[in-house]
Copies of this chain bind each other. A is one copy, B any other.
Amino acid sequence: MESSVSLAAFPRLDVRTMADDGDALRFCSTCAFSQACLDQGMDKSALLDLHVLVEHVGPFHAGEHIFREGDPFEAIAAVRAGTVKTYVIDQDGREHVLGFHLPGEVIGLNAIDGDHYPCNAVALDTVMLCRFSFPKIAVLAARLPGLQRQLFRLLSRDIGRAALLAGDWSADQRMAAFIVGLSRRLAARGFSPNRFQLTMARTDIANYLRLAPETVSRVLKRFQQEGLLAVDRRELELTGRDVLEKLAGPVLRD
């Protein structure tokens, strides 16, 4: 039933050699990774080196797997469009959602320690990726301090992010933090912060937040009654951002 298109096995597509600077900068304009590398002190000629080892892959359609637990680790990837869910299946066959990855964010970082991906990654809608061979990018990072620094930062940031959900927060705080977090991440990529689609099912949200799906329903309903949200199916509008931010504050630490 489920299709499985392994990133590792994905044919190398769309590898172009850059001719001129302008082309290079247009090449991956939606991929925040390049911009961040520039910010870390990489010059444009270095960016060219980075871009020649990028492969644009996709589209992956909803339900298609990008990689699976145990697949040999070869590459990290930046999400260019769509949403990726990462998850594991435990011994009892229960799914545990590890995270949702929006455009501009990088998947596969937790695979660096080990030869295989430690989790599954699946597209929730139509997903486009920039694939970076990790061995190659590691070699390049040795030449480009800006790139090395950016990779260290990405990894370090994820450590902190993973700790957020670990707290013993209430269902309300978790839900608020999830919504505000999504909103901010979307805003950072240029999307509307106050009105967006939930690309994941309620059960996925519940699983991610370690709540029962019923609890997610009830909290959303109450938020709506309190005027914090307008919920219509998977469409979300933030109507009481200040209160949500305040609820989410302790979780997001700001």
Question: A144-161, CB under 8 A of B: which get 1 and which 0?
Answer: 010011011111111110
**CB of A187 closer than 8 Å to a CB of B:** no
For A91, list chain B residues within 8 Å (CB): 249-250
Main SS of the interface on chain A? helix
Residues of A in contact (CB 8 Å), total 41
For A217, list chain B residues within 8 Å (CB): none
**CB of A241 closer than 8 Å to a CB of B:** no
Q: Which residues of chain A (87-145) have a CB below 8 Å from chain B?
A: 88, 90-92, 96, 98, 109-114, 118, 138-139, 141-143, 145
Q: Which residues of chain A (189-214) have a CB below 8 Å from chain B?
A: 210
Binds B, one of A11-19, A21-29, A164-172, A175-183: A164-172
With contacts A148-B138, A148-B148 known, is A156 near B253, CB below 8 A? no
| CB pair B110 A159 closer than 8 Å | yes
| CB pair A156 B109 closer than 8 Å | yes
**CB of A1 closer than 8 Å to a CB of B:** no
In the bound assembly, the distance between CA atoms of A120 and B151 in angstroms comes to: 24
- In the assembled complex, the CB of A234 is this many whole angstroms from the nearest CB of chain B, namely 24
